[in-house]
Structure 1
Amino acid sequence: MAKKTQKADPNYKVIAENRRARFDYAIEDDLECGVILTGSEVKSLRMGSSNIAESYAAVEDGELWLVNSYIAPYDRAMFPHMERRRRKLLVSRKQLSNLWNATQRKGMTLVPMVMYFNHKGRVKLKIGIAKGKKIHDKRATEAKRDWGRQKQRLLRHGD
């Protein structure tokens, strides 16, 4: 039986995306991890009200945490949650040690890139092991992107 692609799967849904992550950071590697959430947080995410743009992941005391992510409060919740609380991320011990080693190198950080519901309906977070870009690196990336657009335009019109 063929494996389903994520885009064709009806349960796969992107909740929040950090669009500036690839602009501000050079992503070296990425990793999918689970998130420990309360019931009202999941209900709020199903309504699509969250933001991970200003958040980051950190390894502290042998655990991986998502810090400063925003999940809007759910109005009808019996037990409401705090919007910007620290949320524990689930990874294996080997992955955790690799992440800790990567962040100890100079300039490396853990950046959340996208939060989504997987094919089973569970909330997953893709984090990237990244190095911050300098201004000249950002300019080079932008120039490369502009040249790609220009090249496509020239190929389409045949000028």
Structure 2
Amino acid sequence: MSTNNRESAAQKAQSNMMRLGLVAVAMAGVIAFYVLTGRVDLSEPVELTARVTQSATWTESGPLTLDVAVTLANNTEEPLPLSLASQCDIFRWFLTDEDQNLVQSQRSDEPCVDLPMQGNLEAKHNISGEFTLTLDPARVKPGRYILFMRYWGHEHREPVTID
């Protein structure tokens, strides 16, 4: 192969790489434009989010409480049917260590009205709830945990650090 043929092949390869790079940049720009202008929604169709705060520092004498604010969002264009066998099941929780060994769960003797619940969460709407979890300081020590929760039948897990 002559020197001119090698240089010509190298120039073609370089030119093709430049074109490919420009096409990739243009595609990324178009995608970013549609996402940033809200024309493409990257959120889940139904999404449960939670904000967990610890109101007081852990002490051996306790009690230790966590304040949990949950939001269930219906990001679809259709109403979301909500149905539970009991009002007691609107919010359920349990806490594990980082290896997912059970540390503490919700007590079943907490007061609630044991009636079936049904309804709809309208399209593009959300519902929220706030709950206070009382943790046993003999079981829960300072460290990292995972809070598993279910709100209106939708599950979420949230990492929690107890201070």
TM over 0.5: no
The structure, 1 or 2, with the larger RCO (C-alpha pairs under 8 Å, 6+ apart) is 1
> Which structure shows the bigger proportion of residues in strand conformation?
2
**Structure with greater helix percent:** 1
TM-score (norm 1): 0.26
TM-score of the pair, normalised by structure 2: 0.26
